[in-house]
Amino acid sequence: MDTIKQNFQKIADQAKKDGAKVEMLISGGENLKIGYSKKKLESFESTQSQMAGLRVILGANQGYAYTENLSDESLLRTYGEALNNAKTVQKGETQAVPLLKPQTVQAMNLFHPEEIAMDKKLEVARLLEEKCLDKDARIQSVPYSGFNETVSFRRILNSEGLDQEFKQNYFSGYAYPLAKEGESTKMDGDGFFARSFKDINIQEVADEGVTRAISRLGAQKLATGKYAVVIDRTQFPMILQMIESYFSAKEVHEGKSLFNGKLGQKIASEKFQLIDDPFEPTGTAVRPFDDEGAASQKTVLFENGVLKNFLTNLEYAKKMNLPHTAHARRSPASQQGISSTNLVVKKGTKSLEELLASYDKVVHLTEFSAGLHAGFKESTGDFSMPAEGFLYENGKRVGPIDQFVMSGNVLDLLRDIEDLSNQYGKPGSSMICPDVLVKPQSFAGA
């Protein structure tokens, strides 16, 4: 017996009487987190969650409400709250908000539950720390390490008869060792993302994390000046985060996007190719449908530097007469919005080593030291980001550098992309990037 479907049918029947349309988004899952510190179990957290969010549409008006209690009484009460909100929250819109009719979506078989003994999971968490500590005497501690097991699900039902469900499971983990030599201390790390337990490689994570931390010891200040820069494949996602919201048709409609009025124009280097790919299995934003139940599709965002598409949900595709790209995004507790899935930058043909030898002096930027809040202004695209990395001269590494700031404008940076490497980083991100060579940029250092 499908209790959820039965309970929703009661809501749909009531909505029909009220002259309304209704949609219910349910999301939840299970999560296990295990962490060790100083070779002792420090944290063990197992959680389960589920939440239902109701969206009621009355013509051009929408109302929202949510609950963690999925009984029929609770859901009907929550529907009543959403209906009341739709009646009271007037946005001055006249165009009716559409609701998706049932459609076929591409099957994605990413739910493969495994019976893994708890001691095996504890061992992964323990070894992530232990192997870092044992790898090199300069490793003082591993301040951050842990193992996660995740099961997540989403289900969308609406009064047009739509009913879509997607479930997935995966394992992830990380280790960030702290290295010390003399007066110099540096922390860096690595992680894993695996859809099967057998694919977890603890030694690889420990080796890479330790190597990265130790390589940064003894960093020198960078002299102020202009340098060509290779933004590491692990860090270019920060650049994508800067421009991500600009693709939203909602942001464009509200005049908040710097891409407004630029559709079909060449505004980036012809080397820059970017697609939104919800089917990329190594990405963490994989999904067969969006949060209105619309079938996912790949969307070309940049082709040879030309801005090709904005991202839309049903409402904004209709409102702006744009293609419907199926990028509705919300949680049960939030309002309907628009967001990307897996952003994939097309690889180039050169090796990282070739990029680093492209100029007499090149900065290999391997860490933005703080988040976007530290130095990015979305309204103008200007950024001033603290960073760390390595200085190269004639293709040879001189040494690690820190305490410098890279400044510029993100739209200028996209135009200044000169080349891209032929390799992606490890799975575990929704932004999949190669290393990116950018023409000389402004750096403030010593």
Q: Per residue in 137-174, pLDDT tens? A: 999 999 999 999 999 999 999 999 999 999 999 999 99
Residue 306 pLDDT exceeds 80? yes
Q: How confident is the model at residue 256 (pLDDT cuts 50, 70, 90)?
A: very high
Q: Specify the pLDDT at position 374.
A: 81
Residue 247: what pLDDT?
A: 98
Q: Which two tokens stand for residue 401?
A: 């550098």
Degrees, nearest 5: CA angle 252-257-262: 80
Look-up of token digits 């494949």? 233
Task: Collect all residues with Cβ–Cβ distance below 8 Å to 117 and sequence separation of at least 6.
Answer: none
67-104 per-position pLDDT tens digit? 999 999 999 999 999 999 999 977 777 788 999 999 99
Closest CA to 205 of 179, 185, 176: 176
N-term to C-term CA, the chain: 69
**pLDDT tens-place string over residues 362-397:** 999 999 998 888 899 999 999 999 999 999 999 999
Q: Could you tell me the sign of the dihedral formed by the alpha carbons of 35, 37, 43, 44, in that order?
A: positive
C-alpha–C-alpha distance, residues 283 and 271, integer Å:
22
In degrees and rounded to multiples of 5, residue 314 shows phi and psi of -60, -45
Find the radius of gyration of the CA atoms of the chain: 24
Q: What is the pLDDT of residues 176-224, one digit of tens each?
A: 999 999 999 999 999 999 999 999 999 999 999 999 999 999 999 999 9
pLDDT at 35 over 70: yes
Strand positions, DSSP E, 12-92: 21-37, 40-58, 61-67
Instruction: Report the C-alpha gap between 386 and 284 in whole angstroms.
Output: 27
CA dist 396 and 362 (Å) reads 10
Q: Is the sign of the CA dihedral 229, 233, 236, 240 positive or negative?
A: positive
Task: Please answer whether residues 382 and 404 qualify as being in contact, where contact means their C-beta atoms are separated by less than 8 angstroms.
Answer: no
Q: Tell me what percent of the residues of the chain surpass a pLDDT of 90.
A: 96
pLDDT of the residue at 446: 66
Q: Which residue has the tokens 């932004």?
A: 431
Q: What is the pLDDT of residue 414?
A: 98
Residues in the chain: 446
Question: What percentage of the chain's residues is helix, strand, coil (to nearest 5)?
Answer: 25, 40, 35
- Closest by CA to 414, choosing from 213, 206, 219, 272, is 272
**Dihedral sign for Cα atoms in the order 67, 72, 74, 79:** positive
pLDDT score recorded for residue 89 = 79
How far apart are alpha carbons 131 and 135 in whole angstroms? 6
> Could you identify the residue written with the tokens 């809501």?
11
- Provide the token pair at 72: 């029929």
Helix (H, G, I), strand (E, B) or coil at 68: coil
State the Cα angle at 156 between 154 and 157, rounded to 5°. Answer: 150
pLDDT at 94: 77
The DSSP code sequence of 311-336 is B--HHHHHHHT------EE--TTS--
pTM above 0.85, yes or no: yes
Residue 379: both structure tokens together = 């309204």
Question: What are the E-state strand segments in 375-433?
Answer: 376-377, 382-393, 396-409, 417-420, 431-432
Mean pLDDT computed over every residue of the chain: 96
Measure the CA angle with vertex 375, ends 246 and 336; round to 5°: 35
Q: What is the DSSP-derived secondary structure letter of residue 346?
A: P
Could you tell me if 195 and 112 are in contact, meaning their C-beta atoms sit under 8 angstroms apart? Answer: yes
> Are the CB atoms for 202 and 131 separated by under 8 Å?
yes
What is the predicted pLDDT for the residue at 225? 96
**pLDDT tens column, 38-76:** 999 999 999 999 999 999 999 999 999 999 999 999 999
Question: Ramachandran region of residue 394, left (φ > 0), alpha (ψ -120 to 50) or beta?
Answer: left
